[in-house]
Chains A and B, each alone.
Chain A
Amino acid sequence: MTHKLNVCVGLAAFIGSVTIAMAAETIPVGQLVDYTGPTADISTPYGHAVQDSIGYINDNGGIDGRKIELKTSDYSYQVPRAIATYKSWVSGFKPVLIQGWGTGDTEALSGFVAKDKIVYMSASYSGHLTDPTGKSPHTKRPAPYNFFYGPTYSDGCRALIEWAKGDWAKKGGEGAPAFVHMGDNHPMPEAPRAACESYAKDLGFEVLPPIRYSMAPGDFKSQCLSLKQSGADYAFMGNTTGSNISLLNSCDTVGVDETQFMTMVWGFDENVVKSAGEATDGIVWPVGSALWDSEAPGMNLIHEIMAENGRTGETLHYIRGVCSAFYMRDAMTMAAAKGDITGPTIKAAFETMTNHVPTELEGVCLPHSWTHENHRGTVNIRVYQSHWNNGDNTFEFLTMVELPRRDDWLGW
């Protein structure tokens, strides 16, 4: 049995090297997705979007005539498998860019991609990935080859704080509003907590002790009772869609009526509305792009790509996936214009972008700027609110928050 496996591995290595010889004209891009693991419900639309967009790009001229060769691997959120896949790519496939996924794979591979000089575009928006040179005191390890499309988790939370401040004044609230961060004791929800609580304090909020609830869906009535008891005015849910559904259901039953719920980019989408129904009424959250009802010219492309691939009923994360793929396309095009398409040249191309939006996606993707020392792509966050309307759910655009580019917010 072991012998057969050894033969298989040897055969695979041989096939891999032959493929390299044949694929000289294509641009190798790797993609890590989680289609079968705990974050499958949010990885599926995003992953599909990246795959579909690259297919579209290839069908429409590719990059300077060259096609992108995409290899997708489902690592089921098991970090060792992501590492093994990465290693196999580096020795055979040799991608110039990897479309990664979540905190697990991004954190584990950030050191490797910096060493191997491969651009890593993640769907994890942790603040510390925005510090390429390690200037910030908060940064443990510089992440020079990490980029992502979208506002950081910290910025998303900060934008919600700003909106909440305005909302409190509009509601005629007396005294200092109380803010509570809810989330699991886990890298992704924890990433924005310190930054967010600090900013809330700056803006005059009373910051309550954080409430923990698990990333795994379950019954959270106890946590909701605590929330109700704490009297928080604004609660930020830091977990992903799955557990947020349970939390909203539990809190709706317990009767947490005084608290305005807010969540993060990955914490809310159409599926949460479908599952939690009326409990989602009034939720406020940041969206990293325009939404389906937008009349921006860029939405035509999104619909076209979806139609080409037979996608229907995708959640809003699909749009961000398309944006991510097209920023990649633009960076590659810029790199190709100056010479070869490699990891370092793509990185350099990204770092020349200032308020860049891909031309076909005008009005849909947020303008991004990257520099050699600052990978905080966008500081514009669109804040939306969900209205249940007895089943006829709508997402209302509330405001576009533009956060200042403060030096002390780099990498945080």
Chain B
Amino acid sequence: MNTELLLQFLVNGVIIGTLYGVVAMTFVLIYKSTQVVNFAQGEFLLIGAWVCWAFLVHFEMPFWLGFPLTLVFMFAFGVLLQVVVLRPMLGEPIISVIMLTIGLSIVFQAAMSWIFGVFARPYPQVFETESVNILGLDVQPAYLLSFVISLLIMVGFFAFFKYSRMGLAMRATAFDQQIAASMGISVRRVFALAWGISAMVSAVAGVTVGMVNGVSSALSFFGIKVFPAAILGGLDSIVGAIVGGLIIGLLENVAQFVDGEYLNWGNLYNIVPFYVMIVILMIKPYGLFGTKNIERI
């Protein structure tokens, strides 16, 4: 077995997996806090990427200015979206809210295509180096940035949820909205904050992918990858989301390795994550780290 090649695949898997993990984390954040399954998560990546591109190319700002501005914009966007569109849907059946987010994703896709055009656009070169060599695999610095950022975000989220008042409030709201409200927590504010943070972090992921592949309307396809990752890790576990993302990334690459070297079927890269997800769900129906629903009569 070609261990050197396998190692390269594994490194690639980890790098890509962290990116999936970051996106899954944003998805789980919204679900955990507001019980909403956000089908428009991929579009958040897209909007973040395009907005950053606009700042960098149209307004010709340097990266260290444009990127934080993008984050601020996306935070405001997330909050606004929650207040305007989702607040009326509080208390409605979950499936209607899912459909609402699907409708939103259609609107965003079309709006982005209209505003920014349909052609893929490259990002201006942000890093001097073309690629960095890790354990035999050349990796673009953008992915490394995302890796570092996702680690920071993980640590940040952990600290936020464990030690800060707002984080505690969010956890309480996720546990039981009514009790949290009766304890004096502003559930509205928690919701708005959750969407804002999620949009902001999605922008990070979007910008990363945009830096590597250029921005185009297909960035939202990343949103589809999110689901197996989030489910695998457990829909309400942030750590689970990261782990899920890593697993999906590694699985894809190992599958490609096996496919390329031995089987030559051609489709394992796309399909293996889904098969594995079903198997894992059959064993652990709430994902690897999801909270088990204790059933009471």
Contacts and interface: CB of A to CB of B under 8 A. Distances in A.
Interface of A: 35-36, 38, 40-41, 44, 185, 209-212, 214, 216-219, 221-223, 225-226, 229-230, 241-243, 245-246, 249-250, 253-255, 271, 274-277
A35 B138 contact: no
B216 A242 contact: yes
Given A36-B109, A40-B118, A44-B119, 15 more contacts: A38-B217, A38-B218, A185-B266, A218-B222, A222-B9, A222-B12, A222-B252, A222-B256, A226-B256, A229-B261, A242-B216, A245-B120, A254-B138, A274-B121, A275-B121
Contact of A218 (B118, B221, B257): B221
Interface in B98-131: 109-110, 113, 118-122, 130-131
A217 B216 contact: yes
Given A225-B256, A242-B218, A41 B8 contact: no
Interface in B218-241: 218-219, 221-222
Contacts of A241: 120
Contacts of A246: 213-214
B137 interface: yes
B293 interface: no
Interface of B: 2, 5, 8-9, 12-13, 16, 109-110, 113, 118-122, 130-131, 137-140, 209, 212-214, 216-219, 221-222, 252-253, 256-257, 259-261, 264, 266-267, 269-270
Main secondary structure on A side of the interface with B: helix
A163 B264 CA distance: 27
B225 to A, nearest CB: 8
Contacts of A35: 118
A254 B9 CA distance: 11
A210 B266 contact: yes
Contacts, number: 111
Main secondary structure on B side of the interface with A: helix
13 contacts: A36-B118, A218-B213, A219-B209, A221-B12, A222-B9, A225-B9, A242-B216, A243-B218, A246-B213, A249-B212, A253-B130, A274-B121, A276-B122
A225 B120 contact: no
A277 B124 CA distance: 11
A44 B8 CA distance: 39
A216 B113 contact: no
A242 B120 contact: yes
Nearest to B215: A275
Contact of A216 (B8, B221, B259): B221
Contacts of A275: 120-122, 214, 216
Given A212-B266, A218-B213, A255-B138, A223 B256 contact: yes
A17 B216 CA distance: 41
B256 A219 contact: no
Contacts of A276: 122, 214
A225 B5 contact: yes
Contacts of B12: 221-222, 225
B140 A216 contact: no
B238 to A, nearest CB: 23
